[in-house]
Structure 1
């Protein structure tokens, strides 16, 4: 949290930023107490909890992009609005389990008759988020195709 403030992004100063932070924490099962991030787990769920905790930290760190004063809207909202404008039916905040047993969060999932698409929107693409997305996509692809009998990404 201090990292974001040092980058010029005070979370307390914006209701929208607080809502974004709260959504990220909720999506990954992380709690915030006295500016500390906390996740509780038992030994059986440790791997998933650790994955969720690190994913939350990474996604929270991406909020620094919001410190730029020239941002008029958040790209994820633009994607959602575009899908709505084209009458595309989608599932928001889609979670899928991969072959590693880890669960991955995607912003949207679009199911078609013979295929499905998962979407993770990025404000910027960099050396950190692109490999993370590609790993998640590669991990869920075989499980998704076996479960749904649909091609992923077509």
Structure 2
């Protein structure tokens, strides 16, 4: 098997984004179709409307509406709304009813578009529907796991990367004596696209972290097996995958 290097992987991800994005003008509103997939394997779309020098980027309510149609009402309890608001706050994304949106101008449009798409992916990913009933909210489960085992952490950490984009991670366990900082990203539905997005964020922010910092990717394997290609990609970047069914094996090193 021919091994790829990190520059090739990053270039592949960026080229894939550029090649797959399409833009359509619909009565003065731009519909941007991205290669990122939602939980139904449909390509995510955002809409850009201009008002003077201001741009409004919106998902047109698609993400929350699709979750609710699938039986996952993310607005039904205070706890779910708190989790939703926590995700949106990470990316400075606002909500109006079911619509997720950000305000931008031409200069910060790329960053705001990046934030909105990352928020859409995170909301779509964190709320899981199974057998017509909501059985798990993965981010909450990861947080509860850390609390349960007295693992100290801070939630919602951000780094600015070489690209100028800001990337968010779910938790950081601070360094202690000879143990380095450990950063955690929870992925409810591990796919190639989500793995590549995380690896791009990790590589892009490398220079802003201490070299010994470790990234743990918590992967929900309760419903389906994690693909070998995803585990291989993480291994090339020295990212530690934590399958949810094997999380007990990592308690000692996360508690140190």
- Tell me the TM-score range normalised by the shorter chain: 0.7 to 0.9
Q: Which residue of 1 aligns with 2:81?
A: 18
- Gap regions ≥5 residues in structure 1: none
Counterpart of 2:168 in 1: which secondary structure? strand
Q: Which whole-Å deviations, capped at 9, do the CAs of 1:107-130 have from their partners, x for residues lacking one?
A: 111232563221101223222322
Q: Which whole-Å deviations, capped at 9, do the CAs of 1:76-103 have from their partners, x for residues lacking one?
A: 3343344345544322111111111111
1:27 to 90, 103, 108: 90
Q: Does 1:122 align with 2:187?
A: yes
Q: How many residues align?
A: 148
Q: Does 1:153 align with 2:214?
A: yes
Counterpart of 2:209 in 1: which secondary structure? helix
TM-score by length of 2: 0.50
Query: Post-superposition, which runs of at least 4 consecutive aligned residues in structure 1 deviate over 6 A?
Result: none
Q: Which residue of 2 aligns with 1:135?
A: 200
Matched ranges for 1:48-63 at <5 A: 48-63=111-126
Based on CA coordinates, which of the two structures has the bigger radius of gyration?
2
The structure with the largest helix share of the pair is 1
The structure with the largest strand share of the pair is 2
Rounded Cα–Cα distance in structure 2 between residues aligned with 1:21 and 1:84: 20
